[in-house]
Copies of this chain bind each other. A is one copy, B any other.
Amino acid sequence: MPLRQRQEVQALPRPAELNDLRTICEDGGAVLILDQTRLPNETAFVRLTTLDEAAHAIRGMQVRGAPLIGATAAYGIALALAQGIPLERAIDTLAATRPTAINLRWALERMRRALQESAPVVRQAVAWQEARAIANEDEEANAAIGRHGLPLLQASRNRPVQAMTHCNAGWLATVAHGTAIAPIYAAHGAGIDVHVWVSETRPRNQGLLTAWELAQAGVAHTLIADNAAGLLMMQGRVDLVIVGADRIAANGDTANKVGTYLKALAARAHGVPFYVAAPVSTIDFACPDGAAIPIEERDAAEFGHGAKVSPGGTPIANPAFDVTPAQLISGIITEQGIFSANSLAAIER
């Protein structure tokens, strides 16, 4: 379903409709995005009309989630060309916004290829067309991830399937449907009784976004501190973990929101299956392993404790991602099906 016009959207739609929305869409030569820094308190859309606005939206996390970052960057190129900004400068500006999510670079590379082959007279039209294709394909890929992941959530006991996730890899992190949450939405839609443990995800609290969208969709869920994941698994209260990914190396090592690795270690300790859900565009076949993935360091202000924790001064380190080794991953759910982490070479690129 396409995003409604701005003035209509800004009145909060009914929950079921809101979850069907796209996080990004075109609006007459501009781009509308759902401003995720205002959620869950406020549902507001921001209109992007320039390259700098697109770059700011990515850097400032008005849009976030690897697939959505990719789509936004693609539209950012279209906006840049409309301003007369040279393609390579636009690519450099957008590529510098966030270092870890590979979908950003993947989308920019795809835009470059499409535009390099185009005659100058059609370049602007091609840019919009290609950005639109990237967005549409993300929606389709995530729907397929939901279908492929659904069988993992079949309730085998006389209680709800207990899924745990981390950060937000729901529809807010993508153009539509989500990655890690897509199988959960699919299961919920199929009438399967599912409950989701939603990890707060410090320091940015993206778990609140997950809670917000699960509540909109009527999916049972409980917010927990990131610290509680090990206890819940030890208590046998988690059937599977599903997370998204910001970059998957060729060997299956997976960078995702910091804290993912701790959940993977706990899952392994308690025999809980641990799945990564991501479109193929998240796999960096040129990256041999996790050690080669750059880890973004973000601003200390994200902690929200004010400038000074202590009178003497307390530095804050804020690495935004960590790497989960392939051997801790039960499977990678893609639009082409579920792959073991060490068999990614079989994937069609």
Chain A residues within 8 Å of B, Cβ to Cβ: 15, 40, 197-198, 200-203, 205, 208, 211-212, 214-216, 218, 221-232, 234, 257-259, 261-262, 265-266, 269, 295, 303, 305, 309-319, 321-323
Contacts and interface: CB of A to CB of B under 8 A. Distances in A.
B317 A221 contact: no
B228 A316 contact: no
Contacts of A295: 231
B311 A200 contact: no
Contacts of A316: 222-224
B231 A319 contact: yes
| The 3 nearest A-B residue pairs measured at CB | A227-B259, A215-B312, A215-B310
26 contacts: A40-B309, A40-B311, A200-B303, A201-B227, A202-B202, A205-B305, A208-B305, A212-B310, A212-B314, A214-B310, A214-B314, A215-B311, A215-B312, A216-B310, A216-B311, A218-B312, A224-B316, A225-B259, A226-B227, A230-B262, A230-B265, A230-B322, A234-B261, A261-B266, A262-B265, A265-B269
Contacts of A226: 202, 225-227, 259
A112 B261 CA distance: 47
A231 B215 contact: no
Given A218-B312, A224-B318, A265-B269, 17 more contacts: A15-B311, A197-B317, A200-B303, A202-B225, A202-B226, A202-B227, A208-B310, A211-B310, A215-B310, A215-B311, A216-B310, A221-B315, A223-B317, A224-B317, A227-B262, A229-B262, A234-B261
A212 B309 CA distance: 7
A19 to B, nearest CB: 11
Contacts of A200: 202-203, 303
Nearest to A311: B215
B314 A215 contact: yes
A56 B215 CA distance: 35
Given A40-B310, A259-B225, A322 B208 contact: no
Contacts of A228: 258-259, 317-319, 322
